[in-house]
Amino acid sequence: MIAGVLVEISNKNVDRIFEYIVPQKFIENIKIGIRVLVPFGNMVLEGFVLTISNNKTTDKELREIMDVVDSEVVLNKELLELGKVMQKETLSTLISCYQVMLPKALKAKNGSSVSIKYDYFYTFNNKKDNLKRVGAKQQEIIDLVRKKGTVSRQELTDISLASLKRLIELDVLIESKKEHYRLDYDDVEYEKKDLTFEQQNVVNQVINNFCNTFLLYGVTGSGKTEVYMEIIDYYLKLGKTSIVLVPEISLTPQMINRFQRRFGKRIAAIHSGLSVSEKYDEWRRICKAEAEIVIGARSAIFAPLKNIGIIIIDEEHSDSYKQSDPNPRYNAKDIALIRAKYHGASVLMGSATPSLESMARAKKGVYKLLELSHRVNGKALPDVNIVDMNKAMKRSKGHFSEELLDSISDCLNKKEQIILLLNRRGYASFVSCKNCGYTFKCPNCDITLTYHKSSNTLRCHYCGYGDRNPVMCPSCKEASLNSLGLGTEKVEEELKSIYPHAKILRMDYDTTSRKGMHKKIIEQFRMGEYDILLGTRMVAKGLDFDNVTLVGVINADTSLNIPDFRSSENTFSLLSQVAGRSGRNSKEGHVVIQTFNPDHYAIKLASKHDYLSFYNEEMAIRKKLSYPPYYYLCSLRISGKDSSYIYNEALKIKRSLMRNLKTVSVLGPSSATIFKLNNIYRYNIILKYKNIQEIYNLLVKIVDHYKVDNKIKIDIDFNPSQMV
């Protein structure tokens, strides 16, 4: 028997199947989709079995498979085929496509794995009559087991393991084991809320139109999650499974809690906040059909569910669904459509601010448009006050306008809660010398270091480089360093100074990097232990707190100033989403947006909750500039350690593209927004095209041409989410 194996190396030069002889002792164990250990050159590697045949296709002498890693298939037929589609559509290696589907414990990497955890139980062997050889301690164990019938090892913590082991050897006790999952979901009472007329109408349209793609445009607080659960419940009764994607890990705890209260142990979670072992357990529960609903971030789209009925993508506008780096650069929304077609399932994308591309498809009839235009509490969306900081700076205290301070004070007096958004973490954006102008930059990246006061460090938010904050300027040797710019840490310090008695909770990458902190922070704020929740964009989406009546945006221009054609759309979306956190229950909501661009259409229309006017305005600009959704984009990233070499090669690539593509716009090469990242220099070429066939074959040739050149790397990103 000959097995075709795809080895673990993610390199274009070895992106193919290698044949190995299957030794007689492994023939019964070899299946397509399992992992094996194979010799490869002078290495021993893991790989996936992709083909099985009786004849080899080469004249070369074949080597033997060394061992079989799995007893069961880890990549089923659907996922194996999906990987091939991803390889083609992202121009990635096939192994990278398969590895992104699996939990870390199962990714091909030198045979590493995570052990399965078990609970052990003991029962008395009734066939044993002669117990003369047991001692007093062993008799205590026997008496306890006889009394209870079955005893777990946890109940025998004070018992000698040697005594227990001896009773098992004597066959007096029978040991059994049951797999212990590291995450535990309670079997809770079924919790179901009555739907409004609008919600029920949306549910009916989805369940009565099988195998469709829907876009649910629902204002913040309109009860989209309840709609999701009702639809999932319908499919569960048909024996079908479901996937629910959320864009941010911060949303996952609340979503899981909502779903657990309704579906109990039928759910499983997959997201980056879980440990390697927890992800492995959840993946195994899904494989064993012990979980029928999978909730998680982007990678949850690869959950090995069978018989999928519905795939739901919450906050579908989020760029978090696109994997920008490393390969494969896939979009979870595209994968959802592929999987839905395979299973004959529906896809439901929901958002209060749908992406322009999705809304354009809905208006063309490619997606079926559904709407929830009212909040479930029957109240209007919160009123929004735009504060022109050009005028308000004179009366401001720190970075807080008089209007925002008054609103915060009013809320605190009423014992109501506040959410404040500043989409930049750290204490200051950069540190420079007032004497000579020296600015601290990352030695690995073309970016200034961010000052973090709590740890008194300068950090790069891209490569992770960090150093102690010095007292003296390294250039002029003067003690004249000054921290400039604004981050959440500095705002927190100002808040504590202005409101010394208020309880303030900060939620950003620095405070949530430890395991379980997202859930802890959200729960503490929900329980009213804190008055003010200050954070980056992770506080803007999906969070639902009954007592939040004020939302404040410290600097609405942070996302507006990013050099990206989507900056206006991202700003409108972020402001609309965070505004929607206010007044979600019986109390009236209020929003204060501080900005230096009060007349910008994205900010003005967000303050009016006017998505459709923003859509029309932005679409007109996109059409004039030939941007999505009127054109598709493709980014070619040319990178390497030798700046002049990669620039010259980028020029050659540009000339080749111009020569061969007559109807495609070719822009660049230009320096990436962050020109140097981790000591790698980067240039971009952007293609604007209408038809993928116009550019695809040429891009394949370019990638193949450079795959043997170790001085340069070519990365292709179709429909990039960020132009950096």
pLDDT at 582: 93
DSSP state of 327: S
pLDDT at 131: 65
Q: What percent of the chain has pLDDT over 90?
A: 65
Residue 162: pLDDT above 90?
no
pLDDT at 128: 65
Burial class of 585 by CB neighbour count within 10 A (0 to 12, 13 to 18, 19+): middle
Q: 364 by DSSP, 3-state: which?
A: helix
pLDDT at 172: 85
Residue 263: pLDDT above 90?
yes
Find the range with the poorest average confidence among 292-306, 506-520, 706-720. 506-520
Candidates 329, 270, 294; CA nearest to 102 is 270
- What pLDDT, in 10s, does the model give residues 593-651? 999 999 999 999 999 999 999 999 999 999 999 999 999 999 999 999 999 999 999 99
Residue 724: pLDDT above 70?
no
Does residue 682 contact residue 604 with C-beta atoms inside 8 Å? no
Could you tell me how far CA 524 lies from the centroid of its own chain?
A: 23
Does residue 83 contact residue 75 with C-beta atoms inside 8 Å? yes
Q: What is the reported pTM?
A: 0.89
Residue 110: pLDDT above 50?
no
Residue the block writes with tokens 């690869």: 302
Find the range with the poorest average confidence among 202-216, 447-461, 659-673. 447-461
Candidates 613, 536, 618, 608; CA nearest to 569 is 618
Average pLDDT over residues 92-118: 79
Structure tokens at 19: 């044949």
Average pLDDT over residues 187-192: 72
What whole-number distance in Å separates Cα of residue 301 and Cα of residue 331?
10
CATH architecture of 632-718: 2-Layer Sandwich (3.30)
Indicate left, alpha or beta for 295 from its phi (over 0: left) and psi (-120 to 50: alpha).
beta
Find the range with the poorest average confidence among 149-153, 161-165, 616-620. 161-165
Does residue 293 contact residue 232 with C-beta atoms inside 8 Å? yes
> Looking at the domain 197-372, which fold is it?
Rossmann fold (3.40.50)
At 132, the pLDDT band (50, 70, 90 cuts) reads low
Candidates 96, 108, 133, 170; CA nearest to 330 is 96
User: Does domain 2-106 fall into CATH 3.20.20.80?
Assistant: no
Q: Determine what percent of the chain falls in helix, strand and coil, rounding each to the nearest 5.
A: 35, 25, 40
Mean pLDDT in the chain? 91
At 189, the pLDDT band (50, 70, 90 cuts) reads low
At 407, the pLDDT band (50, 70, 90 cuts) reads very high
User: Does domain 383-425+491-624 fall into CATH 3.40.50.300?
Assistant: yes
- What pLDDT, in 10s, does the model give residues 431-474? 888 888 899 999 998 888 888 887 889 988 888 899 998 889 99
Average pLDDT over residues 49-77: 92
- What pLDDT, in 10s, does the model give residues 345-390? 999 999 999 999 999 999 999 999 999 999 998 888 999 999 999 9
pLDDT at 214: 98
The amino acid at residue 46 is E
Average pLDDT over residues 663-669: 94
State how beta strands 590-595 and 548-553 pair.
parallel
Residue 111: pLDDT above 50?
no
State how beta strands 346-351 and 267-270 pair.
unpaired
What whole-number distance in Å separates Cα of residue 367 and Cα of residue 260?
30
The residue with greater pLDDT, 485 or 519, is: 519
Average pLDDT over residues 540-557: 91
Residue 195: pLDDT above 80?
yes
